[in-house]
Amino acid sequence: MTATRTVTVQTSDHGPVTIPCPLWCTGLYHQEGGARIDITHTGPETELTLPTSIGPVRHMATVLEQRPFTEGPTGRGVFVDVEIDGQYHPTGPHGLDAMADALVENAAALRATARRLTTLLAQEGK
Tens of pLDDT, residue by residue over 85-114, are: 999 999 999 999 999 999 999 999 999 999
pLDDT at 1 over 70: no
Q: Report domain extents, the chain.
A: 3-91, 92-126
First to last CA, the chain: 58
- Residues 53-75 as b/e (b if ≥16 CB within 10 A, e otherwise) read eeeeeeebebbbbbbbeeeeebe
SS3 104: helix
Q: What is the pLDDT of residues 46-86, one digit of tens each?
A: 999 999 999 999 999 999 999 999 988 888 999 999 999 99
Instruction: Using pLDDT thresholds of 50, 70 and 90, give the confidence band for residue 2.
Output: low
Query: How much is the average pLDDT of 20-44?
Result: 92
pLDDT at site 125: 86
The model's pTM:
0.83
pLDDT at 3 over 70: no
